[in-house]
Chains A and B, each alone.
Chain A
Amino acid sequence: MKVLIVCTEKLPVPPVKGGAIQTFIAGAIPNLSKNHSITIIGRNDDTLPDKEIKGGVHYVRVPGGLLETYREGVVDYLKNNTFDLIHIFNRPRLVLPIREVAPNSRLILSMHNDMFKREKIDTEEAQKAIDQLDKIITISNYIGNEIVKLYPDAQPKIQTIYSGVDLERFVPTYSVKGQRIRASMRQKHKLESKKVILFAGRLSVNKGADILLRSMLDLAKKHPNAALVLMGSKGFSDNRMTDYIAYIKAIAERLPIPVITTGFVHPDEIQDWFATADIFVCPSQWEEPLARVHYEAMAAGLPIVTTARGGNPEIIEIGKNGFIVEQADDPREFVAHLSKLLSSPSLCREMGQYGRSFVEKNHNWNRVIDDISQVWSGIDYKIKNNVDISSTSNMNGEKEEQLLTKKAVAEKISPIEKKPIRPKQKQPIKRITTASIPWINKEILANKASNY
Chain B
Amino acid sequence: MTSLEQLITPWDLDETLADLYVPPFIEEMAQQVIKQYNFNVSSMEVITTKADKGGLIWKINTSIGPKSLKILHRKPSRSLFSIGAQEYLVNEKKARIPPIVKTKSGSNIVEMGGKIWFVADWIEPLYQVSADIEGAKLLSNAIGEFHQLSKGYVPPKGAENASRLLRWPNAYKKVVRKISWFKNVANLYSEMLTSKTILSTVDMFEEQAKKALTMLEQSSYQQLVAKGNKEWGLVHQDYGWSNGQMGPGGMWIIDLDGVAYDLPIRDLRKLISGSMDDLGRWDIDWIVGMLEAYNEANPITDELFEILLIDFSLPNLYYKNVKDMLFEPTIALNSDLDAIVQRIVEIDKTKWPILEQLRKEWRGGKRK
Contact = CB atoms under 8 A, between A and B. Distances in A.
Interface of A: 65-66, 68-69, 119, 205, 210, 214, 239-241, 243, 246-247, 250-251, 254
A251 B157 contact: no
Contacts of B10: 240
Interface stretch (B30-38, B118-126, B176-184): B176-184
A250 B185 CA distance: 7
Contacts of A250: 185, 188-189, 326, 329
10 cross-chain pairs, A with B, having the tightest CB-CB distances, nearest first: A239-B13, A246-B326, A246-B327, A254-B188, A247-B326, A247-B181, A250-B185, A250-B329, A119-B166, A243-B326
A205 B176 CA distance: 13
Contacts of B328: 246
B160 interface: yes
A214 B158 contact: no
Tell me the dominant secondary structure on chain A's binding face.
helix
A66 B158 contact: yes
Interface string B41-52: 000000000001
Given A68-B158, A247-B326, A250-B329, 18 more contacts: A65-B77, A66-B77, A66-B158, A68-B157, A205-B177, A210-B181, A240-B10, A240-B52, A241-B327, A243-B323, A243-B326, A246-B328, A247-B181, A247-B184, A247-B185, A250-B326, A251-B184, A254-B188
B14 interface: yes
Contacts of B323: 243
A241 B158 CA distance: 30
Contacts of B184: 214, 247, 251
Contacts of A119: 166
Tell me the dominant secondary structure on chain B's binding face.
loop
A46 to B, nearest CB: 12
Contacts of A240: 10, 13, 52
A250 to B, nearest CB: 5
Contacts of B14: 239
Chain B contact patch, size range: 20 to 34
A254 B327 contact: no
Nearest to A69: B158
12 contacts: A66-B77, A68-B158, A240-B13, A240-B52, A243-B178, A243-B323, A246-B326, A246-B327, A250-B185, A250-B329, A251-B184, A251-B188
Nearest to A241: B327
A69 B157 CA distance: 8
A66 B160 contact: yes
A254 B52 CA distance: 29
A210 B188 CA distance: 13
Contacts of A247: 181, 184-185, 326
A254 B189 contact: yes
A358 B323 CA distance: 45
Interface in B1-57: 10, 13-14, 52
A100 B238 CA distance: 42
Contacts of A68: 157-158
Contacts of B326: 243, 246-247, 250
Contacts of A243: 178, 181, 323, 326
A1 to B, nearest CB: 35
Nearest to B155: A68
Interface in B86-120: none
A68 to B, nearest CB: 7
Contacts of B327: 241, 246
Q: With a 10 A CB-CB cut-off, give which of A65, A66, A68, A246 has the most chain B CB atoms.
A: A246
A194 to B, nearest CB: 23
A68 B77 CA distance: 11
A135 to B, nearest CB: 30
Contacts of A214: 184
A331 to B, nearest CB: 10
A430 B244 CA distance: 70
B321 to A, nearest CB: 13
A250 B184 CA distance: 10
A65 B75 CA distance: 11
Q: With a 10 A CB-CB cut-off, give which of B10, B158, B166 has the most chain A CB atoms.
A: B158
A16 B326 CA distance: 36
Contacts of B157: 68-69
B236 to A, nearest CB: 23
Contacts of B185: 247, 250-251
A451 B243 CA distance: 40
A301 B327 CA distance: 37
Contacts of A66: 77, 158-160
A33 B178 CA distance: 50
Interface in B288-327: 323, 326-327
A403 to B, nearest CB: 31
Contacts of B158: 66, 68-69
A210 B180 CA distance: 12
B330 to A, nearest CB: 8
A250 B181 CA distance: 10
A315 B160 CA distance: 37
Interface in B165-187: 166, 177-178, 181, 184-185
Nearest to A205: B177
A214 B14 CA distance: 29
B43 to A, nearest CB: 34
A239 B54 CA distance: 14
Nearest to B185: A250
B217 to A, nearest CB: 16
Contacts of B329: 250
A210 B178 CA distance: 12
A65 B14 CA distance: 30
Nearest to A63: B158
Contacts of B189: 250, 254
Interface in B56-83: 77
A137 B318 CA distance: 47
A254 B186 CA distance: 12
Q: With a 10 A CB-CB cut-off, give which of B10, B14, B326, B327 has the most chain A CB atoms.
A: B326
A186 to B, nearest CB: 29
Contacts of A210: 181
A209 B265 CA distance: 35
Nearest to A68: B157
A210 B189 CA distance: 16
Contacts of B166: 119
A198 B76 CA distance: 37
A77 B48 CA distance: 46
A63 B159 CA distance: 14
A254 B188 CA distance: 7
Contacts of A239: 13-14
Contacts of A69: 157-158
Contacts of A65: 77
B53 to A, nearest CB: 9
A234 to B, nearest CB: 14
Q: With a 10 A CB-CB cut-off, give which of B10, B77, B178, B181 has the most chain A CB atoms.
A: B181
A254 B333 CA distance: 15
A239 B13 CA distance: 6
B368 to A, nearest CB: 38
B230 to A, nearest CB: 14
A65 B13 CA distance: 27
A210 B181 CA distance: 9
Interface in B131-162: 157-160
Contacts of A241: 327
